[in-house]
Amino acid sequence: MLVPILEELLELDTSTGPSTPDDFRFMDMLIKARALPRRKGVFSPSMLGSCVRQAYFAKRDVDKHSAANPQTHGYFLKGNFVHLQWQFALWRAHVAGLIELVPVPIEHELEILNEMVTAKVITLRQADQWAKALDFNGDGMRPAVEVRVVNGDFGGTVDALVRFIQAAKKSVAVVDFKGINVIDFQRTIKRGAEPKYRVQLVGYGDNVNESELPYQVDFCLLVCENKAGPTNSSSSSPLALHETKVDVVEHMPEVRRRLKTLRWYDSRDEVPPPECVSTNHMMFQECAFNRFCREEVRAVQREHEDRAKKRARNWKPARTQR
């Protein structure tokens, strides 16, 4: 749905970087929207697919440990710019009339700016300049990229809300971009997006549907980009993109179930059990809260290793029949 549109757009070189005054205004608005601090004390849809304990710590704003590791930080640097790059491409597709980035109000962002002024994080003058950049349409509205939606204790930021031309006026799709490695990309081509990503995405869709925004999300699009580029992608996309359409109704029960579990632990102030089973796994090594779990995960790991050793002791070499 979206990938062919982006391919059509990029047949010409006019969309490869900001060139018009509106392009620069758009990038300014996008970066300022992205730079606003995140709301604390809420569960983000992006936590729905992750470890429950990790989500519990993140909601409570527990200090994340920063790995002094250029590989990890380089990974995040690339990841952050993947969003900006494709959000810009969506903007160009909007200008070309291929899709519509629906207008969204900037009320929520203005509230955050006011809070920042009150907390003396920025001056009134800086807040005014920030607000002016956000008010892209000049009527308190801006194109729907980097859209923050918070309903009570559940909310997050959506990459874009896109209305496809010919779709009903209120019908929009949540669009999220993700850079993934070549193995995951090939797996995604075969089986579609991983279940954890589908649940996250539908969480965002539910967020929009429960908000005061005058839009209805029936499906979401996860657009994965192969970090190894088009020549290593095993896909026919010249942009190394692959999209998965995720139906909101189909995945809502899982979203509700995950949220219920998160809220249950949160309301009881009870740290959920660890989900990692080895300190050698990426999931453990890349987790910003792993210092709280190391001993428990090591114990689980030892138990698994002991069991594996016992099983190995019972093995007998096969004898050839004479």
Residue 196: CB minimum distance to ligand SF4, A: 12
1 or 283, CB closer to ligand SF4?
A: 283
DSSP string, 143-181: ESEEEEEEETTEEEEEEEEEEETTS-TTEEEEEEEEEE-
209 or 301, CB closer to ligand SF4?
A: 301
Q: Contact 94/143 with Cβ under 8 angstroms?
A: yes
- CA distances to 100, 199, 269 from 166, in Å: 10, 27, 48
Residue 299: CB minimum distance to ligand SF4, A: 12
Q: Contact 181/227 with Cβ under 8 angstroms?
A: yes
166 contacts: CB under 8 Å, gap ≥ 6: none
Residue 52: CB minimum distance to ligand SF4, A: 8
Q: Which residues bind ligand SF4 (CB under 6 A)?
A: 51, 53-54, 274-276, 283-284, 287, 289-290, 293
169 or 294, CB closer to ligand SF4?
A: 294
179 or 274, CB closer to ligand SF4?
A: 274
76 or 315, CB closer to ligand SF4?
A: 76
Q: Contact 242/188 with Cβ under 8 angstroms?
A: yes
Maximum Cα–Cα distance for the chain, whole Å?
A: 92
47 or 106, CB closer to ligand SF4?
A: 47
| β partners of residue 243 | 223
Residue 297: CB minimum distance to ligand SF4, A: 6
Q: Write phi, then psi, for 163 (nearest 5 degrees).
A: -105, 125
Residue 231: CB minimum distance to ligand SF4, A: 34
Residue 293: CB minimum distance to ligand SF4, A: 3
The tally of CA atoms less than 13 A away on the side-chain side of residue 11 is 7
Q: Contact 221/1 with Cβ under 8 angstroms?
A: yes
Residue with tokens 């300049």: 129
